[in-house]
């Protein structure tokens, strides 16, 4: 038994919003270039932040900064802040074309200012486990920005659920870049798509040796991978390839079917975890599949119960 569905991902009109996203939600001030941040903090500060609470907004000053907290002072006396209020802190420097938003919660209230705790802006549940096999990472040439924007190529997601027998199912989440497909995409599921329809530069990319990385965690919206060396190019499309194994356990509740991923994304953040460099990648389109959440939950639970890479 085989059930196959094909989804067209048309990002032509939003390529700059996705890849060159002008507004970035970040975990805290540590994720902002210090060259930008230095003008917002200290006695010599020249820039103010924007504070947003619901439908209210006002200018504010940054008084203190640490990795997970910020001291902020509203410059409007009518902008009242109470303990446990959620405040968005918008940081935009006139010399740069990006603005950053940090979501915070008021933890302590003083006479004219508050101390806030930074929150992770990602809303998808993230699943943490380790894989024995490497994650493969490929960088796509910059020319694909214009190709996608001009609708010269199509990015197509193929979702395949395949039943091998009553106990084993395989699930594939595959994205590829095609240059020669029918104009009538409504009947695309009936068209034989294959490597012969790949864009030539995409074919060349697939033939290059991939960068080998380690798995950290993932959600239906993105993935975090670990590298031995720092990754510098944050303006590039990436192809991430990996597989999870078939898991059979004495406890049937921990049994997991294998998954295959071949997904395109863009970089949303950097960091360090131990001696490794972390790279946060946002998928070009969220994986909206109820089955996937259940499988990732089981993989995480199985990993935590055994402590061994999958």
CA contacts within 13 A on the Cβ side of 263: 25
Q: Which of 146-150, 225-229, 247-251 has the highest mean pLDDT?
A: 225-229
Beta pairing partners, 109: 114
d(CA 89, CA 86): 10
* Residue scoring higher pLDDT (213 or 193): 213
What pLDDT score does 71 carry?
A: 93
CA–CA separation, 259 and 295 (whole Å): 9
Instruction: Name the H helices within the chain.
Output: 15-19, 34-37, 143-149, 200-206, 290-306
Position 168 confidence tier, pLDDT thresholds 50, 70, 90: low
Listed in order, strand segments (DSSP E) in the chain are: 2-9, 23-26, 49-53, 56-65, 69-74, 86-92, 99-109, 114-118, 127-128, 135-139, 154-163, 169-178, 211-218, 222-227, 237-244, 259-273, 276-283
Q: How high is the pLDDT of residue 247?
A: 84
Parallel, antiparallel or unpaired: strands 49-53 and 169-178? unpaired
Separation of alpha carbons 200 and 134, rounded Å: 26
Band of pLDDT at residue 226, cut at 50, 70 and 90: very high
User: pLDDT > 70: what percent of the chain?
Assistant: 87
- Asked if pLDDT for residue 1 goes beyond 50, the answer is no
Whether pTM exceeds 0.75: no
Residue 189 above 60 pLDDT?
no
Characterise 102 by phi-psi region: left (phi > 0), alpha (psi -120 to 50), beta (else). beta
pLDDT digits (tens, 9 = 90+) for 28-40: 888 788 888 889 9
Could you give the CA distance from residue 163 to residue 303 in angstroms, rounded to a whole number?
A: 25
| Residue 3 confidence (pLDDT) above 60 | no
In the chain, domain spans: 2-20+123-306, 28-118
- The number of C-alpha atoms within 13 Å of 104 and in the hemisphere containing its C-beta is 33
Residues in the chain: 310
Quickly count: other Cβ atoms within 10 Å of residue 75's Cβ: 13
Strand, coil or helix: 181: coil
Buried b vs exposed e over 150-167: b needs ≥16 C-beta within 10 Å?
eeebbbbbbbebeeeeee
> 106-120, 121-135, 162-176, 243-257 — which one is most confidently predicted on average?
106-120
pLDDT of residue 266: 85
Name all contacts of 140-146 with Cβ < 8 Å and 24+ positions apart. Answer: 140/177, 140/202, 140/205, 140/236, 140/237, 140/238, 140/239, 140/264, 141/201, 141/205, 142/235, 142/236, 143/201, 144/177, 144/201, 144/202, 144/237, 145/15, 145/19, 145/237
- CATH superfamily of this structure's domain 28-118: predicted glycosyltransferase like domains (2.40.10.220)
pLDDT: is 78 or 121 the higher one?
78
Give the span between the Cα atoms of 287 and 173, in whole angstroms: 8
């Amino acid at each position: 038994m085989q059930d196959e569905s094909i989804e067209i991902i048309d990002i032509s009109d939003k390529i700059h919003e996705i890849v060159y996203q002008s507004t970035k939600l970040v975990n805290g001030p540590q994720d902002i270039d210090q060259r930008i941040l230095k003008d917002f903090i200290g006695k010599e500060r020249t820039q103010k932040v924007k504070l947003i609470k619901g439908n209210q907004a006002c200018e504010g000053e940054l008084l203190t900064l640490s990795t997970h907290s910020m001291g902020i002072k509203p410059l409007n006396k009518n902008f009242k802040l109470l303990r446990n209020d959620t405040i968005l802190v918008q940081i935009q420097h006139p010399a740069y074309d990006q603005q950053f938003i940090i979501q915070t919660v008021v933890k302590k209230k003083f006479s004219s200012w508050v101390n806030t705790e930074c929150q992770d802006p990602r809303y998808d549940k993230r699943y943490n486990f380790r894989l024995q096999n490497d994650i493969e990472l490929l960088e796509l040439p910059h020319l694909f920005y214009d190709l996608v924007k001009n609708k010269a190529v199509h990015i197509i997601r193929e979702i395949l659920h395949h039943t091998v027998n009553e106990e084993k199912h395989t699930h594939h989440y595959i994205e590829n870049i095609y240059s020669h497909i029918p104009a009538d995409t409504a009947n695309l599921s009936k068209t034989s798509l294959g490597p012969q329809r790949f864009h030539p530069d995409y074919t060349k990319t697939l033939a290059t040796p991939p960068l080998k990385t380690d798995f950290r965690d993932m959600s239906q919206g993105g993935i975090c991978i670990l590298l031995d060396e720092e990754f510098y190019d944050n303006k590039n499309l990436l192809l991430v390839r990996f597989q999870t194994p078939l898991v059979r356990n004495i406890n049937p509740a921990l049994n997991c079917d294998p998954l295959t991923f071949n997904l395109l994304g863009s970089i949303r953040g950097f960091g360090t975890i131990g001696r490794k460099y972390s790279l946060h990648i946002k998928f070009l389109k969220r994986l909206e599949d109820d089955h996937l959440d259940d499988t990732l939950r089981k993989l995480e639970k199985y990993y935590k119960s055994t402590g061994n890479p999958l």
